Amino acid sequence: VKLQSSVTVTVKKSELKAARTLGVVVAVFIMCYCPFYCVSLSRSDITMASSTNTFINFLVLLNSCLNPVIYAFFYPWFRKSVKLIVTLEMLRPHSCEACVL
C-alpha cells in the first residue's frame, strides 16, 4: 500500500511539473506573439516605423529561441541531452548507452 501511495505522489508531482512547464511555454508564446497579432489584426493602412516592425518580428523569432531555454530550466534530462548533442558526444562509440534520465 505504501508503494502505491509513493508512486501516486510521484506521478502527481510529475504532472504538476509538466503543467507548470506548459503554462510557462504558453505564457511566453502569448507575450511574444501578441504584438504581432494585434498589429496584424488592427492594420487598416497603418504605416509603422521600420524599427517597430523589426522589433515585432524579433519577438516572434525570440519565442522559438526561448522554448529550449524553458525546457532546459525545468528538465535536467533535457540539459544533459543538449550537452551530448552540442559537444558531439553522441557521435562517439557507445553513446547510445549514455544515461540522460
Percent of the chain exceeding pLDDT 90 equals: 46
> Mean pLDDT across the stretch 54-77?
94
Q: Mean pLDDT, to the nearest integer, of 80-101? A: 81
Percentage of residues in the chain with pLDDT exceeding 70?
89
The mean pLDDT of 55-78, rounded to a whole number, is: 94
- Supply the pLDDT for residue 8: 79
Report pLDDT digits (tens) over 17-30.
Answer: 999 999 999 999 99
Rounded Cα distance between 101 and 61, Å, is 30
| Mean pLDDT along residues 43-66 | 86
- Could you tell me the residue ranges of all domains in the chain? 2-71
Average pLDDT over the chain reads 86
Provide the grid cell at 100. 540522460
pTM (predicted TM-score)? 0.74
Q: Give dist(CA 68, CA 25) in Å, integer.
A: 10
**Statement: residue 1 has pLDDT above 60:** no
